Amino acid sequence: MNRRRKLIGGGVIIAAALAYMIYAGVTQSAAYFVTPAELRASAVPGKAYRLGGMVVPGSLKWEPRSLDLSFTLSDGIATAPVRYKGTPPDMFGEGRGAVLEGSWTADGYFKANLIMAKHSEEYKAPHDKSEAGYRELFKTLRGEGR
């Protein structure tokens, strides 16, 4: 009986330690998923958020030398200015969806640490216009290469 008690005691200690670790982990790394409208309504500067929305066409600015990327994210109701340091990832662009990890700053913009471009798993049927675009790009590069 004594041994059994010890065993149960050990189990309780392990379970408690695990529960504490999970609790601490969640409180430290939980990020609320918000839309620009929700963010603008109640943003707490410095708190971690996941911000989801669409990149407003015409808002994207990319400065390759300084690696400064800025754009506006919209959910159709409100918009949020975003700044990021680094190359825009694949699948990222104006008019496309994106989910950002980062925080709201006191200076009134969202500072993104990570951009996850949203894209569907299915691929669109070949699009004549975009294909022409690729061909043109291809040609300029070819010409340059020679």
Partner 1 sequence: MTADLGYGMTLVALGLAVYGGVAAGVGARTGRLALVESAQHAVLGVFVLVTSGFALLTYAFLTFDFSVRYVATNTNLGTPFYYRITGVWGALEGSIILWSWMLALYTLILILRHRVGARELYPWALATMLGILAFFLLVMTVAAPPFQRQVPVPADGRGLNPLLQDTGMITHPVALYLGFTGFTVPFAFAMAALITGRIGDTWLVLTRRWIIVAWYFLSLGLLIGGWWSYHVLGWGGYWAWDPVENAAFMPWLTGTAFLHSVMIQERRRMLRLWNISLVILTFGLTLFGTFLTRSGVIASVHAFTQGSIGVLFLSFLAVVLLTALALVAWRWDALRSEGELDSVVSRESAFLLNNVLLVAAAFTVFFGTVFPLLSEAVRGVKVSVGAPFFNQVNVPLFLSLVFLMGVGPLIAWRRASLDNLKRNFLWPVALGIVAAAAAFALGVPSLLAALTFATTVFVAVTIALDFTRATRVRLRLGESLLPTMGRLLLRHNRRYGGFVVHLGILIIALGVMGSHAWSVQTETTLHRGETAELAGYRFRFDGLSAVEESNHFKVVGEFTVSNGRALGVLRPAKKFYPQAQAPIAYVDYRLGLREDLYLVLGDFTRDGSQATVKLQVNRLVSWIWIGGVVLTLGALLAILPERHKSV
Total Cβ atoms within 10 A of residue 20: 10
Dump the DSSP string for 12-29.
Answer: HHHHHHHHHHHHHHHHHH
Interacting span for partner 1 (CB under 8 A) from 13-21, 53-61, 75-83, 104-112: 13-21
Distance CA 15, CA 87 (A): 44
Closest CA to 61 of 89, 40, 39, 82: 82
Q: Which of 57, 76, 105, 119 binds partner 1 (CB under 8 A)?
A: 119
Closest CA to 85 of 123, 113, 126: 113
- Would you count residue 11 as binding partner 1 (CB under 8 A)? yes
- Would you count residue 81 as binding partner 1 (CB under 8 A)? no
- Choice between 108 and 141, CB closer to partner 1: 141
Interacting span for partner 1 (CB under 8 A) from 30-38, 53-61, 70-78, 104-112: 30-38
Sign of CA pseudo-dihedral 45, 48, 52, 58: positive
- Would you count residue 31 as binding partner 1 (CB under 8 A)? yes
Annotate each residue in 45-64 with x if it binds partner 1 (CB under 8 A) or - if it does not, as one string. -----x-----------x-x
Length of the chain: 146
Which chain residues interact with partner 1 by CB under 8 A? 3, 6-7, 10-11, 14, 18, 21-22, 24-26, 28-33, 50, 62, 64-65, 67, 86-88, 90-93, 96, 101, 117, 119-127, 130-131, 134, 137-138, 140-142, 144-145
